[in-house]
A = this chain, B = another copy of it.
């Protein structure tokens, strides 16, 4: 399907908030963090360094279909974190997440990145997320048991770029 990937703009904010709420994958405090990161990015747009949060939106007409946020990991040579990637529930399974992911990898390579790291949770509700990361070429490299809470491990996926 046809859509564009563009740098985040202020007018995307309400739609991103709605999208994050609709996916049912993010807690209220996590969504507030995501919104603050967007404000930071908007305030620095045009002057972004690799360490800043880089946020892009998949749009079609004026609709926000998905969004992605990545940035260089502090104190590393060329490692990047994929902090957030989300697609509106009614637009999933159409390749939007994959395109956002591949776009991010390209952007990171352009910036000189050589390794992508993604952290997620072992909760059963994140199984589709994990399958997505595996489908786009990431490897489950490490697990920190009981990291988020008892029985909820941190999974660390990586992809060399």
Binding site for B on A (CB under 8 A): 27, 29-30, 73, 75-79, 114-115, 117, 141-150, 156, 158, 160
Q: How far is the CA of A79 from the CA of B117 in the complex (A)?
A: 20
From DSSP, what is the main secondary structure of chain A's interface residues?
Answer: strand
Closest to A146 in B: B115
* 8 Å CB contact of A156 from B29, B115, B142, B146: B142
Closest to A152 in B: B77
B residues within 8 A CB of A79?
146-148
A141 touches B141 (CB 8 A): no
Q: Are B142 and A77 in contact (CB under 8 A)?
A: no
For the complex formed, measure the closest distance between the CB of A111 and the CB atoms of chain B, giving whole angstroms: 15
25 contacts between A and B (CB under 8 A): A29-B75, A30-B75, A75-B148, A76-B147, A76-B148, A76-B149, A77-B148, A77-B150, A78-B149, A79-B147, A79-B148, A114-B146, A114-B150, A115-B146, A115-B147, A117-B144, A141-B142, A141-B143, A141-B145, A142-B142, A142-B144, A142-B156, A144-B156, A145-B158, A146-B160
- A142 CB contacts on chain B under 8 angstroms: 141-144, 156
